[in-house]
């Protein structure tokens, strides 16, 4: 019997690594339906797509690492069924494997759009294909002004392509960042010559242009859809596990079935620090969640009380964001620094508690931002808002009122 990990992913690889570093010596089998060993996806829309990062750098470990750590890595293989009664999974090869503990790290896949010829960006093959198309003079239409859409936009403009972004909302990233910071990202792209079509959708494509729902025709040799992802939950749902916007897990990442755990993009977990259920589609959640799930599978008492974190790079604008703000969950945004010079920290605040913070082209401040957020959630700590906005005041817990 073994620990079986479904998804040769960032989360799965971090779980396997933690199992070994915590001293687990029995069999680990990791099964992934992609042909590549676990890799990090962020370069697919940034460094690799821009042509300044090699793909090799994206792999979590080289292949030898899995052999050295006796991890039985089975690639190009799907898990097609899960029997939680018999504690077995069935593989696309027909083989059945028993498990002591099972980790579902199945990730997410892009939501489809009903536009012929639209491309998506999730895996290495998508990125390679897209990269070959982003050349000077190419017309690119991006459907959806979320993180993936905007990062592809930045890469395409950097390659010299002409880019139009079609977005149903009135600003990019509005649901994540709110109006104030969404307008900032609109301006970053507009300054680079990106044409935005807000409040619109694409209804059709003919290979050279797309038509919008108001009849406008927009040139488009390439159509890239980035309208969000859906968690890969079929395996769990078919096995009778509780699924609701992801595989539902406890604060120790345990599913509704005994000895079955889930983490990463696929999991909807209860975060005891924030006091809410959440499903997070970001790199650091895959890393942290994989580590916590491994410890949980080893029987350790764990509580995944982690503050969500992510980052994005677009042109020369780099950012990191920590925190959790539900829709309409903040009453003001406090800015420390200068948005005009594109070097600032934005704080989302409610009743003088810091819920989230985003540093833009300002570095080495995440630990301090996270300490303020943690104090707000754990102890209800409020901060002095004038000092929070004052770049001369120390950015630490002395801001707590
Ligand atoms: C282009 C791109 C750029 C990104 N940039 C950033 C960024 O800048 N910052 C950030 O924080 N996050 C970023 N992300 C998000 C981040 O990459 C994801 O949150 C992370 O990959 C999630 O890891 P995961 O291990 O949960 O799942 P995934 O990476 O989705 O891996 C799951 C794996 O499981 C496989 N699988 C699913 N079902 C089965 C099955 N039944 N049998 C076998 N295998 C199966 C899937 O094919 C996949 O290989 C980016 C994502 C993309 C696509």
**Rg, Å, the chain Cα set:** 22
CB-ligand 1 contact for 9 (6 Å cutoff):
yes
CB-ligand 1 contact for 399 (6 Å cutoff):
no
Cα 105 to ligand 1 centre (Å) = 9
Q: How many CB atoms lie within 10 A of CB 292?
A: 25
The helix/strand/coil state of 270 is strand
CB-ligand 1 contact for 44 (6 Å cutoff):
yes
pLDDT of residue 135: 93
The CATH architecture assigned to 2-109+230-297 reads 3-Layer(bba) Sandwich (3.50)
Residue of minimum CA distance from atom 28 in ligand 1 = 107
| Residues 203 and 224 sit within 8 Å (Cβ to Cβ) | no
CB-ligand 1 contact for 106 (6 Å cutoff):
yes
CA distance 98 to 400: 52
CB-ligand 1 contact for 281 (6 Å cutoff):
yes
| Residues 345 and 365 sit within 8 Å (Cβ to Cβ) | yes
CB-ligand 1 contact for 320 (6 Å cutoff):
no
pLDDT of residue 92: 98
Looking at ligand 1, which atom is closest to the CA of residue 235?
A: 41
CB-ligand 1 contact for 11 (6 Å cutoff):
yes
pLDDT of residue 326: 74
CA distance 229 to 90: 26
* Beta-bridge partners for 5: 30, 103
The helix/strand/coil state of 45 is helix
CATH 3.50.50.60 residue ranges of the chain are: 2-109+230-297, 112-225
- The phi, psi pair for 336, rounded to 5°, reads -115, 115
Maximum alpha-carbon separation in the chain: 64
CA distance 310 to 283: 7
CA distance 375 to 211: 49
For 316-399, CATH number out of 2.60.120.380, 3.30.390.30, 3.30.70.3400, 3.90.1200.10 equals 3.30.390.30
Fold that domain 112-225 belongs to in CATH = FAD/NAD(P)-binding domain (3.50.50)
Q: How many CB atoms lie within 10 A of CB 207?
A: 11
Is the pTM higher than 0.85? yes
CATH 3.30.390.30 residue ranges of the chain are: 316-399
The enclosing H or E element of 196 equals strand 195-198
Looking at ligand 1, which atom is closest to the CA of residue 229?
A: 53
pLDDT in tens, the chain (401 residues): 699 999 999 999 999 999 999 999 999 999 999 999 999 999 999 999 999 999 999 999 999 999 999 999 999 999 999 999 999 999 999 999 999 999 999 999 999 999 999 999 999 999 999 999 999 999 999 999 999 999 999 999 999 999 999 999 999 999 999 999 999 999 999 999 999 999 999 999 999 999 999 999 999 999 999 999 999 999 999 999 999 999 999 999 999 999 999 999 999 999 999 999 999 999 999 999 999 999 999 999 999 999 999 999 999 999 999 999 977 799 999 999 999 999 999 999 999 999 999 999 999 999 999 999 999 999 999 999 999 999 999 999 899 98
Task: Give 346: exposed, middle or buried? Use CB within 10 Å, 0-12, 13-18, 19+.
Answer: buried
CA distance 366 to 281: 19
CA distance 294 to 278: 20
């Amino acid at each position: 019997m073994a620990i079986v990990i479904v998804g040769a992913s960032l989360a799965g690889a971090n779980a396997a690594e933690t199992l070994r570093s915590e001293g687990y010596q029995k069999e680990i089998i990791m099964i992934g339906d992609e042909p590549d060993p676990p890799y990090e996806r962020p370069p697919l829309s940034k460094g690799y797509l821009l042509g300044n990062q090699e793909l090799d750098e994206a792999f979590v470990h080289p292949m030898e690492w899995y052999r050295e750590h006796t991890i039985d890595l089975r690639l190009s293989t799907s898990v097609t069924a899960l029997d939680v009664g018999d504690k077995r999974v069935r593989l696309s090869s027909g083989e059945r494997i028993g498990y002591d503990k099972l980790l579902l790290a199945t990730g997410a896949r892009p939501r489809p759009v009903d536009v012929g010829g639209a491309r998506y960006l999730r895996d290495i093959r998508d990125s390679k294909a897209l990269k070959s198309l982003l050349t000077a003079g190419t017309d690119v239409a991006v459907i959806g002004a979320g993180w993936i859409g905007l990062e592809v936009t930045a890469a395409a403009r950097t390659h010299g392509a002409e880019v139009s972004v079609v977005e149903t909302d009135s600003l990019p990233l509005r649901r994540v960042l709110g109006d104030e910071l969404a307008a900032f990202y609109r301006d970053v792209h507009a300054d680079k010559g990106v044409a935005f079509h807000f409040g619109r959708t694409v209804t059709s494509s003919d290979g050279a242009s797309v038509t919008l729902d108001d009849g406008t025709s927009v040139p488009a040799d390439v159509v890239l859809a980035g309208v969000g992802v859906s968690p890969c939950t079929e395996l769990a749902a078919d096995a009778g596990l509780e699924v609701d916007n992801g595989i539902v897990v406890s604060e120790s990442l345990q599913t509704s079935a005994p000895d079955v755990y889930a983490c990463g993009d696929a999991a909807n977990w209860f975060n005891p620090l924030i006091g809410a259920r959440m499903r997070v589609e970001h790199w650091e959640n895959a890393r942290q969640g994989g580590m916590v799930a491994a410890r949980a599978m080893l029987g350790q008492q764990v509580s995944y009380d982690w503050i969500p974190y992510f980052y994005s790079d677009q042109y020369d604008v780099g950012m990191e964001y920590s925190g959790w703000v539900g829709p309409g969950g903040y009453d003001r945004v406090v800015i420390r620094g200068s948005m005009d010079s594109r070097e600032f920290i934005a704080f989302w605040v409610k009743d003088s508690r810091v819920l989230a913070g985003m540093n833009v082209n300002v570095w080495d401040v995440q630990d301090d931002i996270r300490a303020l957020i943690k104090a707000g959630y754990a102890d209800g700590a409020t901060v002095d808002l004038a000092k929070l906005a004052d770049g001369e005041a120390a950015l630490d817990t002395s801001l707590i009122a």
